[in-house]
Amino acid sequence: MVDQRERLWHFDAVEPGQVGNETVVEITAGNIAEYARLALNYSPEYQAGDDSLVAMPTMVLSYAPLLREEIADANGFVAVEVSKTARSQTPFA
C-alpha cells in the first residue's frame, strides 16, 4: 500500500499572493445594515434607507473564511478542515 500524504495548507505554507477563483458577492443595503446591527455599530452611514450606504471595512472579513478551501486548492494544497488524513480546525482562526 502506498502512503499518500496530502499537501496540507498549514500556516507556514501560506504566502502573500496566493489566490483562488474570482469571487463576486452582491452586497445590498440590507446586508450592510444587518452586519452593522450585529456588530453593534449604529452609525447612520451603515443604516438602511440611505442610497449612500458604505459597507463597514470589516465586512469583507466575514467572507474570507468561506474561501479558504478554494484558495488552498488553487495553490495545490488541501485545507486542513477538509483533509481526509489529518483533518483539524483551521489554524487561521
**Interatomic CA distance for residues 82 and 90, integer angstroms:** 9
Return the domain boundaries, the chain: 1-23+63-93, 26-55
Q: What is the DSSP letter of 79?
A: -
Residue 49 per-residue DSSP state = T
pTM of the predicted protein model: 0.59
pLDDT (tens digit, 9 = 90+) per residue, 24-44? Answer: 888 888 899 999 999 999 988
Indicate the average pLDDT of the chain: 83
